[in-house]
């Protein structure tokens, strides 16, 4: 009997919920321009959650027209600022796919690069910054590709100069990452693996600051592997390009 009474109570409550008034939609009857203006106002105040709500409501109610197009682009930025990178990337990709000839599609590519460039960097990382070369490189590599697409497709874009600068930075970080991994292998006497990582820097990242340390690792690893000719070749290149490297200074003192 107790079980039957409980089931009857649940059924009664469930039925009663159908009579509860639905929350009032404050935006009911708003025009596309009013929704867009309200979203912009929320963005100017840093209220990204409210901005996203207004922009997505605009897209749903008024899927055609200039406000809808702009809303799709700006919701990507709002999600980026709201620290929702997956939603931000999805919105930017959708905009690129739907409006490949839009006058602001270059910004969508730039925004994709920014999202991946800053991905995984939380509040504490901004206070206590970590060495990017020691982080997972997946997002940084994707950021490099995104900025590269922007520069390739829109070389005269207003965002292209900043994208190029970020690409130089990312390239240097990726090179330094290879050196960090190579040193890890050196410490564990995995010399072949260290050689492979250091060679990637020499072959792929010519001109990066990490090049000097990569050559020094090659010298040390080849010596450890008892490959004197390869070690001498690497040392010759190191001496020619980076004569003040600490490895060479230690050799002179010895």
What's the pLDDT tens digit per position in 198-229? Answer: 999 999 998 899 999 999 999 999 999 999 99
User: How confident is the prediction along the chain (254 residues), in pLDDT tens digits per residue?
Assistant: 445 444 444 444 444 455 445 567 788 889 999 999 999 999 999 999 999 999 999 999 999 888 999 999 999 999 999 999 999 999 999 999 999 999 999 999 999 999 999 986 654 344 444 556 566 689 999 999 999 999 999 999 999 999 999 999 999 999 999 999 999 999 999 999 999 999 999 999 988 999 999 999 999 999 999 999 999 999 999 999 999 999 887 755 43
Q: Tell me what pLDDT residue 25 has.
A: 75
- CB neighbour list of residue 161: distance below 8 Å, 6 or more residues apart: none
**Fold classified for 33-98:** 1.25.40
Look-up of token digits 């490189």: 137
Cα separation values, 170 from 12, 40, 112, 124, Å: 61, 32, 15, 21
SS (H, E, C) 37-96: HHHHHHHHCCCHHHHHHHHHHHHHHCCCCHHHHHHHHHHHHHHHHCCCHHHHHHHHHHHH
**HSE (side-chain half, CA atoms, 13 Å) at 99:** 20
What is the C-alpha separation between 160 and 147, in angstroms, rounded?
8
Task: Report pLDDT digits (tens) over 14-35.
Answer: 444 554 455 677 888 899 999 9
DSSP of 202-224, one letter per residue? HHH-TT-TTHHHHHHHHHHHHHH
- pTM, two decimals, is 0.79
- Residue 17 CA to residue 71 CA, distance in Å, equals 35
- What pLDDT is recorded for position 133? 56
């Amino acid at each position: 009997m107790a079980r039957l009474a409980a089931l009857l109570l649940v059924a009664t409550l469930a039925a009663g919920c159908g009579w509860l008034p639905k929350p009032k939609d404050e935006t009911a009857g708003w025009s596309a321009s009013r929704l867009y203006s309200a979203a912009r106002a929320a963005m100017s105040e840093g209220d990204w959650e409210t901005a996203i709500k207004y922009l997505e409501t605009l897209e749903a109610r008024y899927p055609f027209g200039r406000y809808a197009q702009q809303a799709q682009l700006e919701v990507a930025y709002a999600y980026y600022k709201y620290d929702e990178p997956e939603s931000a990337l999805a919105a930017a990709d959708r905009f690129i796919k739907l409006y490949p000839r839009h006058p602001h599609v270059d910004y969508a590519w730039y925004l994709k690069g920014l999202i991946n460039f800053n991905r995984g960097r939380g509040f504490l990382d901004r206070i206590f910054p970590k060495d990017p070369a020691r982080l997972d490189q997946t997002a940084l590599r994707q950021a490099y590709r995104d900025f590269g697409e922007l520069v390739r497709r829109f070389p005269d874009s207003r965002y292209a100069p900043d994208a190029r600068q970020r690409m130089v930075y990312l390239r240097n970080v990726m090179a330094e990452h290879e050196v960090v991994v190579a040193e890890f292998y050196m410490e564990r006497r995995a010399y072949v693996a260290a050689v492979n990582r250091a060679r990637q820097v020499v072959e792929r990242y010519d001109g990066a600051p990490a090049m000097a340390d990569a050559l020094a690792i090659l010298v040390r690893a080849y010596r450890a592997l008892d490959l004197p000719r390869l070690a001498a070749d690497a040392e010759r290149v190191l001496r020619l390009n980076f004569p003040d490297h600490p490895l060479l200074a230690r050799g002179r003192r010895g």
